[in-house]
Amino acid sequence: MSRNTFNTLKEFDIAGKPGKFYSLPALEKSLGVKLSRLPVSIRVVLESVLRNCDGKKVTEEHVKQLANWGATAERVDEIPFVVARVVLQDFTGVPLLADLAAMRNVASKMGVNPKKIEPLVPVDLVVDHSVTIDHFREKKALDLNMKLEFSRNNERYEFMKWGMQAFDTFGVVPPGFGIVHQVNLEYLARGVHKTNESVYYPDTLVGTDSHTTMINGIGVVGWGVGGIEAEAGMLGQPVYFLTPDVIGVNLTGVLREGCTATDLVLTITEMLRKEKVVGKFVEFFGEGTETLSLTDRATIANMAPEYGATMGFFPVDDATIEYFKGTGRTKQEIDAFEAYFKAQNLFGVPKAGDIDYTRVVSLDLSTVAPSLAGPKRPQDRIEIGNVKATFTDLFSKPVSENGFNKRADDLTTEYETSNGVKVHNGDVLIAAITSCTNTSNPSVLLAAGLLAKKAVEAGLQVAPHIKTSLAPGSRVVTEYLTAAGLLPYLEKLGFGVAAYGCTTCIGNAGDLTPELNAAITSNDIVASAVLSGNRNFEARIHPNIRSNFLASPPLVVAYAIAGNVTRDLMTEPVGKGTGGKDVYLGDIWPTSAEIQALMKHAMNSKLFKDNYADVKGNPGKLWEAVSSTEGQVYNWPDSTYIAEPPFFDGFTMEPAAAASGITGARALGVFGDSITTDHISPAGSIKEDGPAGKWLKEHGVQKADFNSYGSRRGNHEIMMRGTFANVRIKNKMIPPKADGSAVEGGITIHQPSGEQMSIYDAAMKYVADGTPTMVFGGEEYGTGSSRDWAAKGTQLLGVKAVICRSFERIHRSNLVGMGVLPLQFIGNDSVESLGITGKETYDLTGLEGEIKPQQLCTLVINREDGSKQEVKVLLRIDTPIEVDYYKHGGILPFVLRQLLAA
């Protein structure tokens, strides 16, 4: 309970009954500061700082600093943000659980009660990343895929069940219910929480997935962090961050007929990437915002990582309350939610001029046009009429320029597979309605169903070799598509329900047929995937599909029918229907009125209540059949899925002295711009001839049972071998091919031997020799998923520093959390301008004595000819608490020492 002198604990009325709260209006009077001019998101964070002000980790000075937030002030104040809860998905949650289990092992060995290691806030893990689309376009696809999921992941699920009985505040939503962010939006989020003393406070959270921001759509402050930062939050450590800039986005007008929430979010992603909002809060306001449905807002909030923001926040208003009613929250919860936000003066969407933002950008919703994004970044939006031109333009460039190592300007040549399927450049081979971004939104799913209905009635079909799938983020979707009479039409076009989970969006599309794979690789075909997801990074969807486009669910169906992304759907027919008649997109595109008429089936409170009652009441026979061990300390049975992590090896209560500098380092890799966490730590398939595949085979695992990197994140032996193992990553240390194209794959040149080998093998040689290593990059290093293994794997490979032009927010934080130095080039300095080739050795000076946040260091480049060059680089340890984390070797040993000393 707060122990401050501000006298802000007040009462408010909840449908005639009293409740208590820490009042921001009372704080406004106490401090004499106009809090109502602060961004709404900042005020929600301020409430947490006020309520948790204990004079220790959170002080009155913190309250005053945040209350005096200046729109354009220098960002030097560190905020200790105590969250209400933590959400996890299984790919990131399992290694987090392994870390907690390892902490208990340390406690037990030191004679301390292992129950000291216990989450202090509620933690929910939703199993959504495991399922793969192995079966599709068959009646029992859902059942067959789930059975495969359980057989492949049984060891992981046993470990989760151990966690459920070992930790009092750790719960699991079993496989088959949906995607974490949609489940969070529809079920886990309760609006406000209440202490035992009847003190109400708003829902806030962090999650171990970058798209945690989807919850911003209902006015919840929360964002994605790496597992290591989430663990610290679970174990009582505030989430620390610098006071952010807040960019206001003024939405005006209304969407045009025929435009979807997907078109809108792709437009916003493109716009805000250009506005450079990385590390900033984005807050939506204005009359256009009020016209958006709650699920439209959630779609926009979901893609905050794609536009680079920490959050994409929407205030609570009447639309939020209606959504809570439609999704089955109780009357008591809704009454408390609405009354609380009104008492705090936080209810309603601000108008232009109401709030002091760092800066304001505007978007007229009526200017949004039907769009796709691709072929390899979410921010590269293309209006539907320009897709053909963009595709041919990009792939007609020399391979040394197009970034794809392929030429695909020939759209007419037909390549025949060994089983008679004819394939062209641009052909759609995967079409997936997938991802919480869009499957949480009934308007676009009903639109897809209506388009499918009209297409079937017009006689249109989808070619049988195209891998189609529907993987909703919630079982509720199936119920309302069935009630609306649309699911049978989607099934006729191949979009039957194949799974409930992330599937294609996370890289679990499953494989293509051997014949298609052979045709693609032998003929250098640039095939395409179209999906309603949020990410389309290289090799994420499928290693052999090089052009991947994000689109709304109805457009996914339309492109599946068209069969090739270079068919101009604005002017050319989608396909030939009954009697050979040309059918155009306008003939089958649903109207807003048609969609709205079916919306009653989607917002059915009983549907949501009944579905989510099964989480604890009837989780399914497959889950109930999973066995588990009991006890407070895990016994680490022999497994290729779960292994005791090495991060606490040799742990002592006194931290080892932090490195004062780096001498004689070698480059492990030199990379370009937009190196994603998929490049650094893949989630998809494991190559048989790569270091991870070889290790699995050595341990008796057959290729058919490799599963994926994502599913094996509980085993560091796999993950460190998979670091920088993406098949599309390009290391500039490797000379280009004769045609000027870059060599792809996780390889490097070991120095000084000059031998070419896998990055893992080179790293182990350097570790054995005691040679420190560095990694170099360009702009937006670490963009994409929040996966902490991108930082954990980097650390286990012996990398001491990552130096690049700019970092994406979460990965920078993860590197610090693992004791790896993030350093940033200054001004116009870059790998190219400094002539870094990877043949040099490197020293880093300036860390002697007391480390200070964002201090300057010196990188010394020692060249082969004996010359030296010294350049200043910025230390991206941004806050004082991060300095402490680094000195302790990372967040986890820091927190463990605190817990064991308590």
Please report the domains of the chain, with CATH numbers, ordered by start residue. 9-81 (no CATH), 83-239+624-648 (3.30.499.10), 244-314+349-369 (3.40.1060.10), 371-605 (3.30.499.10), 652-666+762-901 (3.20.19.10)
In this structure, how many other beta carbons lie within 10 angstroms of the beta carbon of residue 848? 8
Please write the tens of the pLDDT for every residue from 622-670.
Answer: 999 999 899 999 999 999 999 999 999 999 999 987 667 999 999 999 9
Name the pTM for this structure: 0.91
Please write the tens of the pLDDT for every residue from 457-514.
Answer: 999 999 999 999 999 999 999 999 999 999 999 999 999 999 999 999 998 999 999 9
- What is the rounded average pLDDT of the residues 332-347? 98
Provide the H-helix boundaries in 832-876: none
Q: CB of 235 within 8 A of CB of 319?
A: no
- What is the rounded average pLDDT of the residues 826-854? 95
Q: CB of 822 within 8 A of CB of 752?
A: no
If one compares 395 and 168, the residue with the highest pLDDT of the two is: 168
Q: CB of 557 within 8 A of CB of 383?
A: no
Q: Quick one: pLDDT band at residue 771, thresholds 50, 70, 90?
A: very high
**413 phi/psi in degrees, rounded to 5:** -60, 135
Cα–Cα distance for residue pair 814/793, rounded to 1 Å = 11
Please write the tens of the pLDDT for every residue from 857-871.
Answer: 999 999 999 999 999
Q: Which residue has the tokens 């040689």?
A: 765
In this structure, how many other beta carbons lie within 10 angstroms of the beta carbon of residue 34? 10
Task: Report percent pLDDT > 70 for the chain.
Answer: 98
Q: Quick one: pLDDT band at residue 424, thresholds 50, 70, 90?
A: very high
Calculate the alpha carbon distances from 590 to 449, 451, 533, 688 in Å: 9, 6, 21, 46
Q: Quick one: pLDDT band at residue 795, thresholds 50, 70, 90?
A: very high
> Looking at residue 538, what is its pLDDT?
84
Measured between its terminal Cα atoms, the distance across the chain in Å is 19
Q: Quick one: pLDDT band at residue 557, thresholds 50, 70, 90?
A: very high
Calculate the alpha carbon distances from 129 to 122, 209, 234, 620, 784 in Å: 21, 11, 22, 18, 16
Please write the tens of the pLDDT for every residue from 351-405.
Answer: 999 999 999 999 999 999 999 999 999 999 999 999 999 988 877 767 666 666 6
> Looking at residue 65, what is its pLDDT?
97
Task: Report percent pLDDT > 90 for the chain.
Answer: 89
The H-or-E segment that residue 12 falls in is strand 9-14
> Looking at residue 89, what is its pLDDT?
95
Residue 406 has pLDDT above 80, yes or no: no
Cα–Cα distance for residue pair 217/264, rounded to 1 Å = 15
In this structure, how many other beta carbons lie within 10 angstroms of the beta carbon of residue 849? 7
Phi-psi region of 816 (alpha: psi -120 to 50; beta: other; left: phi over 0): alpha
